[in-house]
Amino acid sequence: MLPDIHCPTIKLGKRSIVVFPYWIGLLILGLLFGLVGAFIVLRDGLHVTGLSNAIPWGLWISIDLSAIAMGGSAFVFGVIVYILRIKRFEAIGKLAVLLGFLGYSTAGMVLLFDLGRPLRFWHPVVYWQPHSLLWEVTMCVVLYLSVLMAELLPIVLEHPLFKTHPWLTRYKALGSLMERAHSFAHSLHKAGPVLAVAGLTLSLLHQASLGATYSVLAGRGIWFNQSAPVQFVFSAMSGGIALLFITSVFVFRVMRPGTVSDSAIYDVARLTGGITLLLTYLRVWDWAVTNYYSFDREVFLQTQILDTIAPYSLTFWLGQALLPVIAGSVLLAAKSIKNFRYLMLAAVIPILAAIITRWNYNFAGLIASISYDPFTPGIILNSYTPTWVEFSVGTLVICYWLLAFSLAARYLPFSSGHDHH
């Protein structure tokens, strides 16, 4: 049986009200609102959005890239648990797999609407374009999502519902089917190291290629740099592990106290802090190379134009440089601070920094871009405002993530039921 799970409650006078059913109801309302926008997009196409030929990527692609980044802890802890064999992180590794699956499935849902021709989602798998970075990203995401499903299936089947339910003995066919499913899940569990290596390889490939997609666009000026692939990898690790730390505190201290030691959770925070500080160091050097050591006038003009229409430089210095240094230092000293509230507040900053990075790449590269005239290059200023339909679809996928995580946190068994691990 599952251990006792403590759901958060709110006290109103002398009554304690369980928040969980009301929270689920709120998320279902968000899903219904999102389905309205999803229906309009599938019926009328992309012209109901604020996207255009000049700005083909907007709010949706930012959610997509951010969701992928938030799943960055899965490949890191796959290596920690299955390759390095640090078993005290096994329960946390299962939570990382869940976050990875939710992140990549959310990204797939967003792309279904962002494609414009959703019924052709299978084309990259059949019609290969090996010279395209986006095709390589697509194939890696599809394959890695399959790996995450293979890693998540044994976790789901550990639930007592699939082992001790009366129907399994009453209906022999169902019992036989579940025996085969458990046997298959056991085989997948034994193949954990192979899946971890495959997940690490696929993740590094497509995370780096996402950054390389921008760095090869010479006409985009401000983001034409060689460190973008590395920054995207470390950004996903920083934001993804920060989210894993926050959810670990919620799942393993609030809902299932005693499942994981505080020391292991502190180590997750320290890992987040170290990677965040390393990433910030790379970002500052990248800024210096692009802006200080470069004499490219177009880059300077791009930055000036972006600062006139949005707080571009402020989001960089505050959201990607100063605050991450503070948050990284706090998280790195987690075992000395020993205050989960302060540490969770600090862990929010790497998550926001990862989201800001992806938004700035889209915003800077498309809003203020350099013309492709080699003789008289100029700065082209475009405009983009998301419509309510885009916010509706965004609400749909975010509520899906929150709903799936909430149900998993409530019902999935994260503690190992195998003594021979």
* pLDDT tens readout for residues 195-242: 889 989 998 888 888 888 776 665 556 666 778 888 899 999 999 999
Tell me how far apart the alpha carbons of residues 335 and 269 are, in angstroms, rounded to a whole number.
9
**89-117 confidence digits (pLDDT tens):** 999 999 999 999 999 999 999 988 988 88
With respect to residue 270, please indicate whether it lies within any of the assigned structural domains.
yes
In 3-state terms, what secondary structure has residue 176? helix
Helices and strands in the chain, H and E counts: 18, 4
pTM of the complete model: 0.91
Q: Which two tokens stand for residue 252?
A: 């393993």
Q: Is 381 helix (H, G, I), strand (E, B) or coil?
A: strand
pLDDT of residue 207: 87
Residue 257 has pLDDT above 80, yes or no: yes
> Which domain CATH number covers 346?
1.20.1630.10
Q: For the chain, what is the domain count? A: 1
Please tell me the predicted confidence (pLDDT) of residue 217: 63
The 10s digit of each residue's pLDDT in 297-353 is 667 777 888 888 878 888 889 999 999 999 999 999 999 998 999 999 999 999 999
Residue type, 58: G
Asked whether residue 2 is domain-assigned, the answer is no
420 domain-assigned? no
| Residue 419 within any structural domain of the chain | no
210/65 Cα distance (integer angstroms): 9
* Residue 218 pLDDT: 56
**CB under 8 Å, gap of 24 or more: what pairs does 131-138 form?**
133/209, 133/212, 133/213, 133/216, 134/213, 136/205, 136/206, 136/209, 137/206, 137/209, 137/210, 137/213
pLDDT tens digits along 141-159:
899 999 999 989 888 888 8
In a domain, 199, yes or no: yes
Higher pLDDT pick, 65 / 418:
65
**Strand locations in 55-173 (E):** none
Domain residues for the domain of 250 are 9-411
Number of Cβ atoms within 10 Å of the Cβ of 62: 21
